[in-house]
Amino acid sequence: LWMNTADAIAWFDSLPPAAEADMLGTWHGDEVPTDHPMDGLLGASSWTGKRFEGPDAVHPLVHDVPFWGERSMNPQFLPLRFIMSLPGRDALLRAAFPLLAPLFFTRKPHARLRTIRFRDRDHAAMCYDDKPINDVFAQIDDKSVLGWMDFKGMEKPYFLKLTRR
C-alpha cells in the first residue's frame, strides 16, 4: 500500500480519531510507504508493532529479533536521525540489528498513551518518554488504526498502520 504524503494525510483526516481505551492491547505494525526517509527502516529492524498495557505503560518498539525472539526496545539511545542518514541503511540494519539489539532490550515501557489535540480533533496518541515523537492514531476499522508519526523537526509525516493481534 504505497501512497504519496498528501494522500496519506487526506486518508488520516477522513478517518475518525482513535480513542485511548481502544488502543489497549498488542498491535502488529506495518509501514505505510509514502517515499519518506524512514520508509523501510522499521521493516529492516524486524519491528513487529507496539504493546499498550495502560496509560503509562506503552512499549513503542516491539521487534522479533533473529536469535532472540520478540523483545521490546528502549528507544532512548537509538540514534534515529543518524541511522536514517546511513548509506545502504536497510541492508546494514538487517545485518547489524540482531547483533546490536541486545544493547537496547528493555522490560520497562518507554511511552505513554494520552489524548491530544491534533489537527483540530482529539486523538489517542502514543507519546515517547525520551524522544520528541508522538504517534497519533485514527480509526480505520474496529481492528486497525492509521498512525501519524509527529516527530519534531521532521519535514513531512511518517505513517504506519497497526492491526490488533
The residue count for the chain = 165
Ordered alpha helix ranges (H), the chain: 5-14, 20-23, 41-44, 80-85, 89-100
How many other C-beta atoms can be found within 10 angstroms of the C-beta atom of residue 123?
26
pLDDT, tens only, 16-44: 999 999 999 999 999 999 999 999 999 99
Q: What is the pLDDT of residue 82?
A: 87
Question: How far apart (Å, rounded) are the C-alpha atoms in residues 86 and 37?
Answer: 11
Q: What is the pLDDT of residue 22?
A: 95
Question: How far apart (Å, rounded) are the C-alpha atoms in residues 164 and 159?
Answer: 17
* Residue of 82, 161, 75 whose CA lies nearest to 110: 75
Q: Which residues contact 26 (CB under 8 A, 6 or more apart)?
A: 49, 50, 51, 52, 62, 164, 165
Q: What are the cell numbers at 152?
A: 519534531
Question: How far apart (Å, rounded) are the C-alpha atoms in residues 69 and 102?
Answer: 11
Predicted confidence pLDDT, tens digits, the chain (165 residues): 789 999 999 999 999 999 999 999 999 999 999 999 999 999 999 999 999 999 999 999 999 998 899 999 999 988 888 888 888 999 999 999 999 999 999 999 999 999 999 999 999 999 999 999 999 999 999 999 999 999 999 999 999 999 999
Q: What is the pLDDT of residue 81?
A: 82
